[in-house]
Copies of this chain bind each other. A is one copy, B any other.
Amino acid sequence: MRGALDCSSGNNQKTMNRAVRILRIINAEKSEFNEDQASCGKLCIRRCEFGAEEDQEWLTLCPEEFLTGHYWALFDGHGGPAAAILAANTLHSCLRRQLEAVVEGMVAAQPPMHLSGHCICPSDPQFVEEKGIRAEDLVIGALESAFQECDEVIGRELEASGQVGGCTALVAVSLQGKLYVANAGDSRAILVRRDEVRPLSSEFTPETERQRIQQLAFVYPELLAGEFTRLEFPRRLKGDDLGQKVLFRDHHMSGWGYKCVEKSDLKYPLIHGQGRQARLLGTLAVSRGLGDHQLRVLDTDIQLKPFLLSVPQVTVLDVDQLELQEEDVVVMATDGLWDVLSNEQVARLVRSFLPGNREDPHRFSELAKMLIHSTQGKDGSPTGEGQVSYDDVSVFVIPLHSHGQGSSGH
C-alpha cells in the first residue's frame, strides 16, 4: 500500500459555546474519542460472465481477481463515531459489488447498450457514442450507487443497534489509469505538482448547497414544521426589524433583494451562520454524508435527513495523461486540516518536504504526519502561521508516480 495515513485525535480543549435558543450544536464539545475514521486497501473486482445459454442467469465464472485498483477513504463522524466506523468497514464492499455488476461494460472499448453485449438494435453503439458514454461513467455511477447503498446499510445497522450518528465520506479510487475522487461532505482532496495545485473535490455544506436546501423547504414546507424560515438574511431578524425592508435571498436567487419583514421572517433560519459556523437547522455543518437517519433538531420532531444527500460528487483525474513527476501527490484530508491550512499552504509544505527526503522509504507517511503536526501547534511547526486545529485531523498522501509498475500499481 503506497498511501500514507496518519490520524490525530487532537482534542485540544474546545471552548465553543454558542447557545442557540432551543438548539444545541452537534460537536460543539468534541467527544472524547476520535470521530475520524479511515480505510484503504487493494480493490479486487471479480469478473462475471454471461452463461452460454441465453436463459441462464449471470454466472461467476472467474471468481479470482480480474481488475484491481486501490481505494482510500476518510470519514469524519459527528454525533459519535458509530456511522464513521460502519462506513469504514462497509463502503469498500459496496463499491466492489457495484463495480462487479458493471465490470463487463468497463472493460469494453465502449460500454455496450446491453450489459450482455447482445446488440438488439444495430445502431446501439452509435446511440451510446452520441451520448458520450465512456467506461469512466460506469465507475462514477458505481461510486454514486455505492455511497447510497452504504448509507442504507448504516441506517439499518444504527437502528438495529440503537446507535446514532453520521459522517462525511471522501473516497479516492485508482482504477484503469484514472483516479476517481468521490466526496460527500466537507473533507477535501487536492492534487499537488511542482507547478500546479488542483482541487479534486468541492465541499458540501449548508452554505454551498443553500439553493438545493431552500428549494426542498419550498417544495415540502412541512419539513420545517412552522419552526424555521427558509429565507436567508444577513443575520437573524428580531422584533425591531418588523416592517423594515431588509436584505434577503430565496431558493431561486443567486443575487440579493430587499423584502419587508413579516412576523414569520423572525423564525430561526433554515441555514444560519457564516463559513465554519454555518448550520443546517441549527444542527449540522455538512449537507452531504452518510448516516444521520435518526437525527432531529433538539427537542423537536424535525428531521435533518430529508435535507441530506448521500450521493457524492465525483471528479476524474486522468493520471495516464499527466506527465507524472516523482513528487506528484494527492493530499486527502478531513476539514481539521483545511480549517487551518489553505491548498497553497499545503502545497508549499509538500514541495518543501519531499525533495529533502528522497531516500526515506516512508517519506509519504512522514509527510502526512508532518501535515498533521503543523495543525497541532507543536513546537517547530513548519507553517509558522500559528493556527491550531481543535478538530480531529486525518490525512492521506497518495503518490501518483508508479515507478514503472503500471497504472494499477498506485
Query: Which A residues lie at the B interface, using CB under 8 A?
Result: 101-102, 105, 111, 113-116, 118, 120-121, 123-124, 127-128, 130-131, 133, 136-145, 148, 219, 234-235, 238, 240-241, 244-247, 249, 252-258, 274-275, 309, 311, 313-314
Name, among A116, A141, A255, A257, the residue most crowded by chain B CB atoms within 10 Å (CB to CB): A255
Contact B116 A245 (CB under 8 A): yes
Chain B residues with CB under 8 Å of A116's CB are 244-245
Would you list 27 pairs from A and B whose C-beta atoms are within 8 A, ordered by A residue? A102-B257, A102-B258, A105-B258, A111-B247, A113-B247, A115-B245, A115-B258, A116-B245, A120-B240, A127-B234, A130-B234, A130-B274, A131-B234, A133-B247, A137-B255, A138-B255, A138-B256, A141-B256, A142-B255, A144-B253, A144-B254, A144-B255, A145-B257, A148-B252, A252-B309, A252-B311, A255-B314
The complex places the Cα of A235 from the Cα of B137 at a distance, in Å, of 17
Contact B145 A274 (CB under 8 A): no
* CB atoms of A114 and B245 under 8 A apart: yes
Q: Which residue of B121, B136, B235, B249 is within 8 Å of A121 (Cβ)?
A: B235
Name A's interface SS.
mixed
- Nearest chain B CB to A57 CB, angstrom units: 11
Taking CB atoms, residues of chain B closer than 8 Å to A120 are 240-241, 244
Q: Across the interface, which residues of B come within 8 angstroms of A241, CB to CB?
A: 114, 120
The reply to whether B131 and A258 form a contact with Cβ atoms under 8 Å apart is no
Are A255 and B131 interface neighbours, CB within 8 A?
no
